[in-house]
Amino acid sequence: MGEAKRRKKLGISPREKTEDIKLPKLDKKAIQQKVRSTLYKYPIIPFLFYGAAILILIGGLFFVYKSFYLA
């Protein structure tokens, strides 16, 4: 038995229809422009990201080396 028939038989009002969630449209050009303007304003940001990535890589290699050295 379907839900609509069951609700009618029990005397319950029909279920309310749910609205589809509409996601906002992303303007890729505007986002790209904001990122570029930020990078032009602060040119040190890419160097900081690369430096952090290298430090994480070295730290991970050191951790693996230490774990194998102890085992």
Q: Where are the domains of the chain?
A: 42-71
Tens of pLDDT, residue by residue over 25-71, are: 889 999 999 999 999 999 999 999 999 999 999 999 999 998 887 65
CA angle 7, 11, 13 (to 5 degrees): 65
Exposure string of 40-65, with b = 16+ CB inside 10 Å and e = fewer, is eeeeeeeeeeeeeeeeeeeeeeeeee
Q: What is the mean pLDDT of residues 22-27?
A: 87
Residue 23, pLDDT above cutoff 90: no
